[in-house]
Each structure stands twice: as structure tokens, then as C-alpha cells.
Amino acid sequence: MNVILLGPPGSGKGTQAKRIEQAHDMPQLSTGDMLRAEIAADNALGRRVKGVMESGKLVPDDVMITLIRSRIRMPDCRNGFILDGFPRTLPQAEALDVMLRGEHRQIDHVIEFEVFEPNLIERLFGRFTCCNCGASYHERYNRPKVEGVCDVCGACEFICRADDRPEAIKTRFEAYRRQTAPLLPYYDRRGILQKVDAMADIDTVTRQIETILT
Ligand code: AP5
């Protein structure tokens, strides 16, 4: 089963992807996490994308397509994957279709995270993420079960993301509206788009997703 999670910044894609990953034993492919790992490694790609990401703009399609192409060919993706943050533009969606067709695979579900945008700003301001696995937490809505310890991987270091600043958040929302939202009719026409109410609490959103996937 191959799944795409589609929704604006802060809608809960990463939080739910981690839960699907654990429940269905399929990897979360978060392009944001992949890029942040490149930046942390301070390699050529990381240095190229750092400024773009911190500004809230999208990284060029060719970079993203190359990154995801090599990732979905890895053995752990053979039985399925969860795309979190990809595709984000029509050229990325079209390239993904070509990649999968070439391997006789397809996208089975595209899940849209429906939200009330003004409320997402509070989610992004309160967010902190695990330095090791990228799991997202929130000061009010989603604290680790054991204070200071990541529920997913047990690491003890957390950071606030460099793009969770007011100007960058504004740019990210604009990029979603202009470049990513057109993917909704693209997948709807194929009959594989389903929606969840992403303003509900985290467990309720998980249950809505499970209804779609099972
Ligand atoms: P990326 O890392 O993909 O960020 P994003 O899409 O902006 O999404 P976020 O990670 O901010 O939010 P989320 O929906 O995962 O929410 P989360 O679960 O964390 O991309 C970052 C950047 O990388 C882009 O701007 C771009 O520059 C670049 N990039 C990445 N992919 C690219 C691509 N394909 N093409 C080009 N550029 C690309 O939740 C948010 C907070 O809310 C957390 O604190 C969480 O605990 C809390 N929360 C979650 N759900 C709920 C709930 N139901 N109720 C209450 N609180 C909740």
C-alpha cells in the first residue's frame, strides 16, 4: 500500500505518518526530514537548500524528484510507503507517477488533512521536534509521555525548527495554496483522494485515517 499525506504546514502530517509507520510497518518518507538531515550533515545539498527552507519557499523540483526516486527504490519501501511532504507541485506528482508506473506500482490513497488555517499558527509556534527521528511534539497538545524523552526513539534532545518563524510560516502557507493545493483535484479526478478532519484531536485523526486504510 502506497499512501500520500497532503495538507498545509502544521496540519499534522508528520505526527500521523509516524503512527501509520508503527501500525502498518511501512516507512514514513518525509522529504522535510530528509532535507534537514542533509543540512545537519553540512554537505553540498544541505548547503544548497538551507536558505530556501529557512525562508519557507519550496526546494526546486529536480532536487526533490532525485531525492525521492532513490528513496522509494530502497528495500524497506518494497511493501509500501507513506509520503509526507511529497509531492508538493504538479511536476513532482507527474514525476512520481512516471517513477511508479515504471515499477508497476501505484498510489493507493491520498489523504487530505482539512484544516482551519488560522489555528495552525499556534500549532507551529508550540512545536518542538526530536533531534534524532524528527517526531513532532507540542507544548500544549502533544507532550512526550515521559518528560524530555522521545516516545518514538527514546532520544532526549529536541529542537524548534528554523522555519517555524512568522515570516517563513506565511511563505509556507502561500506556497501550499499556490503550488500544492492544485494536487487535490489532480488526485480527486483519479478517485483516490479522501479527507480527514485534521482539526480534531490527534487520536481522532488517527482513527479517521485507519478507517481509510483498513
Ligand atoms: P516539511 O518538513 O514537509 O514541513 P511542512 O509541510 O511545512 O509540514 P510541517 O512538518 O510543518 O507540519 P506537519 O503537517 O507535519 O505537522 P506536525 O505533525 O509536525 O517541509 C519543510 C520545508 O522543506 C518546506 O517548506 C520546503 O522548503 C522543503 N520541502 C520539503 N518537501 C519538499 C518538496 N516535496 N518540494 C519542495 N520543497 C520541499 O504537527 C504540527 C504541530 O501540531 C506539532 O507540534 C504537533 O504535535 C501538533 N499537532 C499535530 N496534530 C495535531 C492535532 N490533531 N491537534 C493538536 N495538535 C496537533
pLDDT tens digits, residue range 32-71? Answer: 999 999 999 999 999 999 999 999 999 999 999 999 999 9
pLDDT tens string 106-145: 999 999 999 998 889 989 988 999 998 888 899 999 999 9
* CA–CA dist 100, 12 (Å, integer): 26
CB 68 within 8 A of CB 86: yes
Say which residues have a Cβ less than 8 Å from residue 131's Cβ, sequence separation at least 6.
155, 157, 158, 159
Between the CA of 139 and the centroid of ligand 1 the distance, in Å, is 16
CA 163-61-73 angle, 5° bins: 100
> Which residues, in sequence order, are bridge partners of residue 187?
none
As given in the structure block, the three cell numbers for residue 71 are 528513496
What b/e string do you get for 162-185 counting C-beta neighbours within 10 Å, with b at 16 or more? ebbbeebbebbbebbeebbeebee
- Closest ligand 1 atom to 11 CA: 14
* pLDDT tens digits, 158-171: 999 989 999 999 99
Q: Which residues line ligand 1 (CB under 6 A)?
A: 7, 9-15, 31-32, 35, 52-53, 56-59, 64, 85-86, 88, 92, 123, 126-127, 136-138, 141-142, 163, 172, 201-202, 205
The structure's pTM equals 0.94
**Nearest-CA residue for atom 40 of ligand 1:** 10
CA distance 199 to 204: 9
